């Protein structure tokens, strides 16, 4: 198959799927090496950029997605207004940041950093597919470990977790598993306004 034909197929796959297409999946469909497909995706992305296309190809962890040119955001916003934006609450952003920087992390570690239970917020982030379970800790009680998802990368515009802004001394903000042998105090409750 020619390189131009592969590019055509990749464009069609991204358009039809509407979400990131994994280079590995595309390589299997096309019976081509994954490394070649990654290179062709990147070449295609460069072509879009060079010709000033209204579309761009965004890469996230070797997955590729069609998106609009950021320079056209104002026009898109005018066309699509009014669109009600569902924003994350402050508590959701706090929990998401803790997980993003400290993953894999237990719920007890998240609660310790926030000083308040995070059950509802964590459940809400999982429903939104921003956070997922990543196995179990080897600590007492073998609590679940949580990490961010590919959707998190997509929504926040990161290619990988290494794109997160640097925060000094993030380790000093959290405690180790040994610090969670005692249950959280009963007086810690979830505030009524703690919604997503």
Q: What percent of the chain is predicted at pLDDT more than 70?
A: 82
Q: Where does the pLDDT of residue 178 fall: very low under 50, low under 70, confident under 90, or very high at 90 and above?
A: very low
Q: Please compute the mean of the pLDDT values over residues 108-135 and round it to a whole number.
A: 91
Lowest-pLDDT range of 3-7, 84-88, 130-134: 84-88
The answer to whether residue 117 scores a pLDDT higher than 80 is yes
Lowest-pLDDT range of 75-79, 145-149, 180-184: 180-184
- The full set of domain ranges for the chain reads 3-72, 90-180
Closest by CA to 169, choosing from 94, 77, 102, is 102
DSSP class of 184: P
Fold of the CATH domain 3-72: Arc Repressor Mutant, subunit A (1.10.10)
Same fold: 3-72 with 90-180: yes
Instruction: Please name the CATH architecture into which domain 90-180 falls.
Output: Orthogonal Bundle (1.10)
């Amino acid at each position: 198959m020619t390189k131009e034909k592969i590019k055509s197929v990749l464009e069609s796959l991204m358009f039809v799927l509407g979400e990131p297409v994994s280079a590995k999946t595309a390589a299997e469909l096309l019976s081509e090496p994954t490394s070649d497909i990654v290179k062709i995706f990147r070449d295609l992305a460069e072509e879009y950029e060079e010709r000033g296309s209204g579309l761009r190809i965004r890469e996230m962890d070797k997955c590729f997605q069609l998106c609009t040119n950021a320079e056209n955001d104002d026009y898109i916003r005018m066309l699509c207004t009014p669109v009600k934006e569902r924003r994350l609450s402050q508590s959701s952003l706090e929990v998401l940041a803790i997980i993003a920087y400290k993953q894999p992390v237990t719920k007890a570690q998240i609660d310790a950093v926030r000083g308040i239970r995070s059950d509802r917020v964590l459940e809400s982030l999982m429903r939104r597919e921003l956070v997922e379970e990543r196995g179990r800790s080897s600590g007492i009680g073998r609590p679940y470990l949580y990490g961010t998802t590919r959707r998190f990368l997509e929504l926040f515009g990161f290619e990988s977790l290494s794109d997160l802004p640097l925060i000094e001394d993030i380790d000093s903000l959290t405690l180790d598993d040994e610090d969670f042998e005692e249950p959280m105090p009963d007086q810690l409750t979830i505030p009524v306004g703690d919604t997503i």
